[in-house]
Amino acid sequence: MDRLAIVARWGVGYDRIDVAALTEANAVLSITPKGVRAPVAEAILTFAFALSKNLFQLDRMTRAGKWRGEVTRLGGDIRGAVLGSVGCGNIARELFQMARPLGFSRLLACDPLVKPGEVAALGVELVDMDTVFRESDFVTINTFLNDSTRGLVGERHFRLMKPTAYFINTARGPIVQHEALVKALKEKWIAGAGIDVFPAEPPPQNDPLFELDNVILAPHALAWTKAIMHDNGVETCGHVLKIAHGEIPDNVVNRDVLTRPGFRQKLERFK
């Protein structure tokens, strides 16, 4: 396809796209970090509040005709809790920005590509991954799925977590070893989880997570808001229009392609 100059990805994950093949074909891949930033951060906080306040259990109890005297477990508090993130990029930084006024006592993150000075103004402590799991009351996943992150979170990490802590994944399912997550929830190593993403999507109906009452599930759509639909659309179209004017779009993933003669020839043709 000699005329192809851009694949404009609606969203930020590009694990299903053959980036090397696009580069070889002299085409750029762009993503939309601006559009997803706030909606995904809000989705993470939605899970945090719903889990800590036992929202779904209280809803089911009330519908069954029970009242507050039959509550078996008190809810937790955001104030004074520790919020941790695996990854400290675009979405995690927005999350920390939103979380600061809520009263979290500490904000922790692990990310080998980020330097402390980049996030100091947000009050974020950069630590190792074990520390994030060991010391956080809410552990969130905010990293890309690639060869280095596939299966990154396993049984050892869940065993490090506090029994009162919650695990939240709105990034990609394969980053987490699914069997280990199920085991951690079944055996109550952790208090609960909020899961918006799965190893296979949609997940099979026999997924053991469906049988557990200490997990809140969503169909990879918790961040699907009016804003994300609008902003991702505008950002994606903006990338295409820049190429159509012979310009380099923002947020190119395969930046190596920008200096390739074949790609430069395409840009010149559009100019």
The catalytic residue positions are: 172, 201, 220
Q: Is the dihedral of CA 126, 131, 133, 134 positive or negative?
A: negative
Read off the tokens for 61: 């109890």
- Name the residue with tokens 């306040």: 53
Pairing between β-strand 192-195 and β-strand 124-126 as defined by DSSP bridges: unpaired
- Name the residue with tokens 């919020």: 83
Compute the distance between CA of residue 262 and CA of residue 152 in angstroms, rounded to an integer.
37
Q: Is 65 exposed, middle or buried (0-12, 13-18, 19+ CB in 10 A)?
A: exposed
Spatial contact of 192 and 185, defined as CB atoms under 8 Å apart: yes
Q: How many CB atoms lie within 10 A of CB 86?
A: 26
Farthest-apart Cα atoms in the chain, separation: 73
Read off the tokens for 34: 């601006």
Residues 6+ apart with CB under 8 A from 88: 109, 110, 111, 114, 119, 124, 126, 142
Q: How large is the C-alpha radius of gyration of the chain? A: 21
- At 105, is the secondary structure helix, strand, or coil? coil
